[in-house]
């Protein structure tokens, strides 16, 4: 028995090293934290005027918030500003989830704004259901086939993010669009970015399409040359000069990219075939196997946080920083401090945002792969000490 366990452990360590995870990450991925760790303190969901990281979080109608892999940001809504939380409504499980939106004025209380990018239950619904007919009625049958290829009950629709586009006074959602192909039943074989638009953050959002993104320049070593321009976990970032960027994991999750968007925020600023590395996009940390990227700017410095790639299991986060978005990125290391820092407090990054008073907030997903809809949200205070982004555990806290 001992020999068997030893063999199993050695095989797991070898597998982890081959996939690029450290043994520490493997321990965390296999073991998680002890259940009596303070990071699992919050069983109570009755407190509504404070953050309780990891607790069940109910909306104003008393229903668990369904906005996983999402993003929180403050944006213009009907001539005022509100916090908008966009995410995956995982009630359908791993695939076929709609994109949901919640709104708040204080970050504690959230009203459900609806499923704003919806998945038709069948191809026929695109013709017959008035909701979908109103959105896609003008499309040809072939275009509707394309839409159904992206939005269907077996599709992967992950990590939706939203930007307000001032030029067009509209809202744009990007998401990771994936699924199996006739050649491969692996659910992440497509590796594309989907884009949808609406005049309101509360939808309905109309899908524009999906595409592959930037490619490895010919003078660099591509970590996955057989599949160009892949986009999986992604995030959006709006810079102070009005330029917007998409950051995403590519090359079979081995390499991160940041690409500048066009003025409408509906595509890249340059076609991937013509885009210039260092001008229109940048390829970062080849082979480092990072995903769940989050890009932000604080006091003139850019920060890029990401996780390692261990499926739904948590692992060690890392932050890089740069003075220019397409400049040199420096490794800051693990931003988390204290107990369970090596598993990011059992979360995976999805958004870091600034509250009205200048308090920055980390929002990570605590995935529950046995019951995905019951995955939890962990919001923690972020500090910038001597130019370093740090995150510490708090069992209960208020931003204001
Ligand atoms: C990690 C990603 O960050 C998630 O969005 C999801 O795709 C899981 N992998 C699936 O295993």
Spacing, Cα 361 to ligand 1 middle (Å): 22
Tens of pLDDT, residue by residue over 305-323, are 999 999 999 999 999 999 9
Name which residue sits closest to atom 10 of ligand 1, judged by CA.
311
Spacing, Cα 227 to ligand 1 middle (Å): 19
Q: Is ligand 1 within 6 A of the CB of residue 234?
A: no
Name which residue sits closest to atom 11 of ligand 1, judged by CA.
311
Candidate from 160, 249, 291 with most ligand 1 atoms within 8 A of CB, to mutate = 291
Q: Is ligand 1 within 6 A of the CB of residue 159?
A: yes
Tens of pLDDT, residue by residue over 131-165, are 999 999 999 999 999 999 999 999 999 999 999 99
Handedness of CA 342, 347, 350, 351 (dihedral sign): negative
Rg (CA), the chain: 20
The side-by-side arrangement of strands in the sheet containing 156-165 is 156-165, 170-178, 192-198, 206-211
Find tokens 């810079």 and name the residue: 239
Spacing, Cα 94 to ligand 1 middle (Å): 10
Cα–Cα dist 331/158, whole Å: 27
Q: Is ligand 1 within 6 A of the CB of residue 108?
A: no
Cα–Cα dist 93/260, whole Å: 32
In the chain (400 residues long), the average pLDDT of successive 10-residue segments reads: 42 45 44 81 78 96 97 96 98 98 98 98 98 97 98 98 98 98 95 98 98 98 97 98 98 98 98 98 98 98 98 98 98 97 98 98 98 98 97 96
Cα–Cα dist 354/331, whole Å: 23
Q: What is the position in ligand 1's atom list of the atom closest to the CA of 232?
A: 7
Instruction: List C-alpha distances in Å: 196 to 206, 313, 380.
Output: 5, 29, 30
Cα–Cα dist 253/335, whole Å: 21
Q: Is ligand 1 within 6 A of the CB of residue 365?
A: no
Cα–Cα dist 99/116, whole Å: 6
> How is residue 190 written in tokens?
């497509």
Q: Is ligand 1 within 6 A of the CB of residue 69?
A: yes
Interacting residues of 298 by C-beta distance below 8 A, sequence separation 6+: 360, 384, 389
Contact 194/172 with Cβ under 8 angstroms? no
Q: Is ligand 1 within 6 A of the CB of residue 66?
A: no
Cα–Cα dist 268/329, whole Å: 22
Record the pTM. 0.92
Residue 323 β-bridge partners: none
Q: Are strands 111-117 and 291-298 parallel, antiparallel or unpaired?
A: unpaired
**Cα–Cα nearest to 303, from 285, 290, 321, 282:** 321
């Amino acid at each position: 028995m001992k020999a068997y366990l030893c063999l199993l452990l050695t095989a797991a360590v070898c597998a982890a090293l081959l996939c690029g995870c450290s043994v520490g990450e493997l321990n965390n991925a296999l073991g998680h934290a002890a259940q009596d760790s303070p990071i699992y303190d919050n069983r109570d969901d009755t407190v509504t005027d404070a953050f309780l990281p990891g607790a069940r979080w109910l909306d104003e109608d008393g229903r668990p918030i369904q906005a996983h892999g999402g993003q929180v940001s403050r944006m213009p809504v009907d001539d005022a500003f509100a916090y908008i939380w966009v995410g995956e409504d995982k009630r359908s499980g791993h695939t076929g989830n709609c994109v949901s939106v919640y709104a708040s004025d204080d970050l504690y209380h959230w009203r459900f704004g609806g499923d704003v990018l919806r998945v038709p239950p069948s191809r026929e619904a695109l013709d017959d259901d008035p909701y979908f007919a109103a959105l896609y009625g003008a499309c040809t049958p072939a275009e509707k086939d394309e839409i159904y290829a992206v939005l269907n009950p077996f599709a992967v629709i992950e990590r939706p993010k939203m930007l307000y586009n001032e030029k067009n006074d509209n809202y744009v959602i990007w998401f990771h669009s994936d699924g199996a192909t006739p050649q491969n039943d692996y659910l992440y074989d497509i590796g594309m970015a989907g884009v949808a638009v609406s005049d309101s953050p509360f939808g309905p959002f109309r899908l524009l399409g999906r595409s592959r993104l930037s490619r490895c320049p010919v003078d660099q070593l591509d970590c996955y040359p057989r599949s160009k321009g892949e986009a999986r976990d992604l995030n959006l970032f709006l810079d102070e000069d009005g330029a917007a960027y998409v950051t995403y994991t590519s090359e079979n999750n081995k390499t991160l990219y940041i690409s500048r968007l066009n003025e409408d925020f509906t595509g890249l600023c340059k076609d991937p075939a013509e885009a210039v590395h260092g001008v229109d996009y940048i390829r970062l940390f080849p082979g480092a196997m990072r995903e769940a990227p989050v890009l932000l700017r604080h006091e003139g410095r850019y920060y890029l946080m990401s996780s390692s790639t261990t499926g739904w299991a948590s692992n060690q986060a890392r932050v890089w920083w740069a003075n220019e978005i397409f400049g040199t990125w420096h490794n800051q290391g693990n931003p988390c401090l204290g107990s369970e820092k090596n598993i990011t407090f059992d979360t995976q990054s999805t958004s870091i945002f600034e509250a009205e008073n200048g308090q920055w907030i980390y929002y990570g997903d605590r995935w529950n792969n046995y019951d995905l809809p019951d995955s939890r949200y962990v919001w923690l205070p972020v500090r910038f000490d001597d130019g370093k982004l740090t995150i510490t555990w708090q069992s209960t806290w208020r931003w204001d």
